[in-house]
Amino acid sequence: MATSRIARPAARILLVDRARRVLLFRFVTGDERPPFWCTPGGALDPGEDYPAAARRELFEETGLDADPGREVARRRIEFETIERVPVFADERWFRVECKGTTIDRSHHTELERRVMIEERWFSRDEIAGWPETIYPADLLDLLEATDP
């Protein structure tokens, strides 16, 4: 029996510091799925466009209030959300350069507080050899393609 997927437009952020490291959050779902790491970002709210969602998600997940700039990449992907909802995601990617590395998690949603248990700034060498899954799988290529 085929499972129908829900459309999920989403804004994702490549948050890069002065040392060219990228911020990732570690997700632990509390079920049989192994932990994984992912960039900041999430689904659009009703009536929201991609840049507005990118700015909101950046603030909610990191405390940074910054213009996300222009869209730097787009991908369409199927996956299952943390809540096990099968989705067809239309992801728009934004690259934000930041000066500092302090993250404010006080604006996280209840779900984010439960599953996003850690954040870490990753060098590109660390990403290449990291023992846990990192999403997107082609993060290094995406970073290279969007380098200024």
Domains, the chain: 6-146 (3.90.79.10)
Report residue 16 as tokens: 């890069």
pLDDT band at 1 (very low <50, low <70, confident <90, very high): very low
Q: What is the C-alpha separation between 6 and 57, in angstroms, rounded?
A: 20
Other Cβ atoms within 10 Å of 89 Cβ, number: 18
Q: What is the C-alpha separation between 44 and 16, in angstroms, rounded?
A: 22
Q: Work out the average pLDDT over 124-132.
A: 95
Q: Is the pLDDT of residue 77 over 50?
A: yes
pLDDT band at 88 (very low <50, low <70, confident <90, very high): very high
Q: Where are the beta strands (DSSP E) in 61-115?
A: 71-80, 86-97
Q: Is the pLDDT of residue 125 over 70?
A: yes
SS3 call for 67: coil
pTM value? 0.92
- Quote the mean pLDDT of the chain: 94
Task: Give the per-residue pLDDT at 30.
Answer: 83
Model confidence pLDDT, tens digit, residues 13-49? 999 999 999 999 999 988 888 999 999 999 999 999 9
SS3 call for 23: strand
Q: Work out the average pLDDT over 94-104.
A: 94
Task: Give the per-residue pLDDT at 3.
Answer: 66
Report residue 55 as tokens: 């700015």
